[in-house]
Amino acid sequence: MKTAIIFNEMEEIKYYVLDGDFTKFHGIYINSMDADEELVDKLASTFYDDKTGEELKEPIALSEFVAAIRDGAEVIEIGFIP
């Protein structure tokens, strides 16, 4: 299974396709006051290095994102509130 991810950073939208089921993160925003803290921590560690804050994943082009959806990837939206 693949998951196509719309990552909303409020000022920028990034697209990712990851192998595996990440649908449990749908609707989760890092730095949100009302999100499940455990899910937020897991989401953050999936995308950012815990020590440096560097991004761990490379965003992809919108065309690659669309192609993954056409191939059956599940689509979720997540984000980061600065």
Token pair 């649908």 is found at 23
On the 0-12 / 13-18 / 19+ scale of CB atoms within 10 A, 65 is: buried
In order along its 82 residues, the chain shows pLDDT tens digits of: 999 999 999 999 999 999 999 999 999 999 988 878 999 999 999 999 999 999 999 999 999 999 999 999 999 999 999 8
The range of the structural domain enclosing residue 35 comes to 2-80
What pLDDT does 32 receive? 86
What pLDDT does 33 receive? 84
CA atoms 8, 48, 63, 77: torsion sign: negative
Domain count, the chain: 1
Q: Which two tokens stand for residue 58?
A: 């490379």
What pLDDT does 70 receive? 98
